[in-house]
Amino acid sequence: MSQRTVQLLIGQIVTDEELRRRFVADPAGVLRALSEQGLALTPLEILALIDTEPGVWEMAARRIHPRLQRCSLLHDAG
pLDDT by residue, tens only, the chain of 78 residues: 588 999 999 999 999 999 999 999 999 999 999 999 999 999 999 999 999 999 999 999 999 887 777 765 555 444
Q: Is the pTM of this model over 0.85?
A: no
Whether residue 43 is contained in a domain is answered as: yes
Predicted confidence at residue 2, as pLDDT, reads 81
Residues 76 and 34: their CA atoms lie apart, in Å, by 23
Whether residue 20 is contained in a domain is answered as: yes
Which regions of the chain does DSSP assign to beta strands (E)?
none
Whether residue 14 is contained in a domain is answered as: yes
Predicted confidence at residue 74, as pLDDT, reads 53
Predicted confidence at residue 78, as pLDDT, reads 45
Whether residue 76 is contained in a domain is answered as: no
Domains identified in the chain, total number: 1
Which residues, in sequence order, are bridge partners of residue 70? 16
Predicted confidence at residue 67, as pLDDT, reads 78
Residues 7 and 31: their CA atoms lie apart, in Å, by 14
Residues 19 and 25: their CA atoms lie apart, in Å, by 10
**What is the span of the domain harbouring residue 46?**
2-68
φ and ψ at residue 22, rounded to 5 degrees: -65, -40
